[in-house]
Amino acid sequence: MDLDLLEERYQQLTVELHPDFYANASKRQQQQSELASTVLNRAYNTLRNPVARANDLLPRLAQGAALDERQLPSGFLMEMFGLQESLDELLESGIPEEIAQTRTDLTERHATLISGLALHFAEAEATAPPSTLQTLQTDLNAERYLHRLLERFPV
Amino acid sequence: MAYSEKVVDHYSAPRNVGSFMKNDDAVGTGLVGAPECGDVMKLQIKVENDQIVDAKFKTFGCGSAIASSSLATEWVKGKTLDEAMTIRNTEIVEELSLPPVKIHCSVLAEDAIKAAIADYKSRSAASAD
Ligand code: FES
């Protein structure tokens, strides 16, 4: 997605919907512009975050087809649990280089998963085979676990 | 969000944290994750003559998940496997006064109990062969 274009359109619409323009308008019009602003902000926040965008888009692509929202790559849960456990030790022992390295590795893995989403989406939009949709769902499921791990690092 | 007193109690002094040896034949291990948030929980039971004699857990998750699993280990102890199977997340919700947004945290604990029992059963069936 073209993020610059998104930003540009968002700014433009924000200005158009600005309450100042409606200072002399009817109560009804004022309310409508407020409502439109809320919708605009929600849409913007969803669109600019690739994971939120994917989570929003997938059910639309699936068109009611049931996707397994629990499915994870095989062995993934066990691995995540193991990583959580070793992170306990790591964060406690506090060797800064090791913490930084683990963080970099996990960040990369998370980023790879997210860029993979974009590819799968392109594929799904073109042909939408159910298996691609489930792959996307599985990736999105996995994303949350990686996200949780990353949240544990001190900022 | 404010946690209930009981959640705080379990969260600040969790019962039965730890692990049993996974490959001990008397042990069943349930490892589950919450798809909603990416939290993970491991709950283990030690079984003698179809009765759960001990339980341990380790949870990487929110306070409600930690409290739910801590409570779950307390509840399963002394129960038979069949009795433990009937524990519902709604009972955990009630006991801990969990708000609606935290219901999935209690589901995690129910799932973990069931997974631990299933693991124990499948392993004891396998070792009986
Ligand atoms: S928020 Fe994830 S288990 Fe409670």
Which of A77, A141, A148 shows the shortest C-beta gap to B31?
Answer: A77
Domain of A6, CATH number, reads 1.10.287.110
Residues with CB under 6 A from ligand 1: B 34, 37, 39, 61-62, 64-65, 102, 105, 108
How many Å lie between the centroid of ligand 1 and the Cα of residue B104? Answer: 7
Banded pLDDT at B1 (limits 50, 70, 90): low
The residue in chain A having the minimum alpha-carbon distance to the alpha carbon of residue B41 is A81
Q: Which of A2-6, A40-44, A122-126, B6-10 is the least confident region?
A: A122-126
Domain of B16, CATH number, reads 3.90.1010.10
Mean pLDDT to the nearest integer, B13-30: 93
Contacts 24+ apart (CB under 8 A), A39-42: A40/A10, A40/A13, A40/A14
Interchain CB distance below 8 Å, B35 and A70: yes
Closest atom of ligand 1 to CA, residue B108 = 3
Instruction: Report the candidate in B109, B28, B120 with the shortest Cα–Cα distance to residue B62.
Output: B109
> Are A72 and A132 within one domain?
yes
> Are A5 and A26 within one domain?
yes
pLDDT digits (tens, 9 = 90+) for B49-108: 999 999 999 999 999 999 999 999 999 999 999 999 999 999 999 999 999 999 999 999
Mean pLDDT to the nearest integer, A126-137: 80
CA dihedral B94, B99, B103, B105 (to 10 degrees): -100
Mean pLDDT to the nearest integer, A42-59: 87
**Residues of B identified as active-site:** 37, 105
Mean pLDDT to the nearest integer, A47-52: 87
CB B39 within 8 A of CB A148: yes
The rounded mean pLDDT for chain A is 88
> Are A149 and A83 within one domain?
yes
Instruction: Return the residue whose CA atom lies nearest to atom 3 of ligand 1.
Output: B105
Domain extent at residue A100: 53-155
> Are A141 and A123 within one domain?
yes
Q: What is the pLDDT of residue A80?
A: 96
The rounded mean pLDDT for chain B is 94
Q: What is the pLDDT of residue B16?
A: 94
Q: What is the pLDDT of residue B129?
A: 67
Q: What is the pLDDT of residue A64?
A: 78
Banded pLDDT at A18 (limits 50, 70, 90): confident
> Are A92 and A32 within one domain?
no
Can you read off the two tokens belonging to residue A10?
Answer: 């968002």
Q: What is the number of CB-based contacts under 8 A between chain A and chain B? A: 36
* Most confident by average pLDDT, A58-72, A89-103, B10-24, B56-70: B56-70
> Are A61 and A16 within one domain?
no
pLDDT digits (tens, 9 = 90+) for A74-110: 899 999 999 999 999 999 988 899 999 999 999 999 9
Total count of domains within chain B: 1
How many Å lie between the centroid of ligand 1 and the Cα of residue B65? Answer: 6
For residue B45, list its beta bridge partners. B28, B55
Total count of domains within chain A: 2
Q: Cβ neighbours of residue B105 under 8 Å, at least 6 residues apart? A: B34, B39, B61, B62, B64, B65, B68, B98
Question: In terms of pLDDT, which residue wins out, B82 or A26?
Answer: B82
